[in-house]
Amino acid sequence: MGSYNYYKMFGCFNRKFKVSESQPPPDVREAFWRYTDGGSSMTAEQLLKFLVEYQKEESSTAEDAEAIMQHVFHHRHHTDKRHTFTLEDFFYFLFQDELNGPIDPRVHHDMTAPLQHYFIYTGHNSYLTGNQLSSDCSEIPIIRALENGVRGIELDLWPNSTKDNINVLHGRTLTTPVPLLKCLKSIKEHAFVKSPYPVIITLEDHLTPELQAKVAEMVTQVFGEMLYSPESGILEEFPSPEALKHKIILSTKPPKEYLGSNSNKEGELGSSPGGKYWSDEELEADYKENQSESEDCEDEDIDNMQQKSGPLAAPEYKRLIAIHAGNAKKRSLREVLNITVDRASRLSVSEQELERAAALYATDVVRFTQKNILRVYPKGTRVTSSNFRPIIGWMHGAQMVAFNMQGYGKSLWMMHGVFRSNGNCGYVKKPDMLMKRGPNGEVFDPKLPIPVRTTLKVIVYMGDGWRLDFSHTHFDAYSPPDFYTKLYILGAPADVAKGKTRIIEDDWAPYWDQPFTFPLRFPELALLRIEVREYDRSDKDDFGGQTCLPVRELKPGIRSIPLYDKKGNKFKSVRLLLRFHFE
């Protein structure tokens, strides 16, 4: 049997290998002809009219249009001497996300409101390189998080083996420690590389008063004038992100003035590192049982860690805690949410506690977040550093939805999406509905049904760039890929929806030109998640890129949508061309 017949029989050559160059969709051609009055070239004045009228960029200027044209001439023709666009130039411009992206790349939210008015990009166990039980602790994940715009860093503080210094590690586990000083220095060096807005360091403190004093000395020496501490020692109201630019803020549960008389036996549950080593099975079982009680120094065992009876808490340490954290362990969560205090504070709850509160007394949660900060952390059983769906936290006003930034997956894609808005500065203004009160003190109730308030219409035109970012045999050894695009609306349960394009066979530059319509009741909380897949007849469909975009930030018109890999890294060339329209 000849080789051709052999391959044909087994389906290897049953599709035609096709390579085609991207062509402008009909809507792009129509827009070009409309704004050139049917001509073959577009002037800067005509481009400006297109930007203002079609793309709804009312603030665009003649200088903006000229700058776009010069960018295209320089990169496409390697010259600055041309003065008008051809159709191909116009199409090239529309497909460049740095010129024509889906959201505003600048900081454009009001940054002068108090901190509780913002969603804050927050990490959980920010020092871990991998799983929650046995991975290394390092300053590297902290640096990476800060460089990606994260503004909330969590450090777990424990005595070192000789109890004369402080390590950062995940207690009750086999995670290897990293010195606190190394973490602090890394935070100082990288805190404001991505964003000038404040970094909040939440401390889970398992230290003696003597070591607390040492922490105070360290943070004072490392951060100096960068460290924010209120003059009165108590914040009646949180300052704004604008007022706290380039500041480091410490947040933890203030130490007790006098400590209890219980002491810990070496090697028992909750002892400092250096006790007995447990098996992996023992560690995981104990971790699952106890983790929800140990977040943010919430359990009594932490008091036992303070060693022996009677010493005063370190006053220097207490003075530096700008955001005081509380807990709901001594009373019900609902009671804590409804306590009226004369200071702004932070409360930490697990994802399960938030789910219960949202189901039983959602408006109490929303009301609490109008004055205070609510931090939500992953449940203890997420030993692989996975994450929960953050929408429930945001819907109820939780500012600090804490995520394992090394726990890649769809939930983290949602987190990336929300914080791409507002210039990726790490602070996103909460929707007004979460901060307002009615005439009788009523607040937003996520459970109340409301009518459709807007409709998002999306046209998925085409995609390109895979041939540049992937090997030609990555998807299929014998022919070009068969791409399709999936769209999801994530947000309030009433808004959840999805759509899918048809499969385009054998094409590196798939052209779909398919419309989708999404009616929305809570557009302020909605996310548009986009994922491209390559159809595989005999196996799981291959991943071809993803992105997640906040609906309230979407710019109308024809837009270039960059795609990202599973870890959230932007592909160099892969992108889609879509049109957004709101009715």
**108 included as an active-site residue:** no
Cβ neighbours of 510 (radius 10 Å): 29
Catalytic residue among 124, 324, 396, 416: 124
User: Residue 446 has which token pair?
Assistant: 């996520």
Closest residue by Cα to residue 375 from 159, 185, 160, 201 = 201
Please provide the DSSP assignment of 280-347 as one string. Answer: HHHHHHHHHHHGGGTGGG-SHHHHHTT-SS-PBP-HHHHHHEEEEEE-SSSS-HHHHHH---SS-EEE
54 vs 47: CA distance, rounded Å: 10
Tokens (6 digits) for 34: 């409309």
The yes-or-no answer on residue 124 being catalytic is yes
Give the active site residue among 109, 170, 206, 396: 170
Q: Are 512 and 501 in contact (CB under 8 A)?
A: yes
Q: Tell me the one-letter amino acid at 136.
A: D
Query: Under a CB-based contact definition with an 8 Å cutoff, are residues 402 and 122 in contact?
Result: yes
DSSP 3-state of 225? helix
What is the C-alpha to C-alpha distance for residues 453 and 342, in angstroms, rounded to an integer? 37
Tokens found for residue 268: 């028992």
What is the spatial distance between Cα 45 and Cα 52, in angstroms, rounded to a whole number?
Answer: 11
**Which ranges constitute the DSSP H helices of 95-230?**
97-100, 140-147, 180-190, 209-223
Q: Which residues of 243-271 are buried (b: 16+ CB within 10 A; e: fewer)?
A: ebeebbbbbbbebeeebeeeebeeeeebb
Q: Are 284 and 383 in contact (CB under 8 A)?
A: yes
DSSP letter assigned to residue 419: T
* CB 244 within 8 Å of CB 197: yes
Catalytic residues: 124, 170
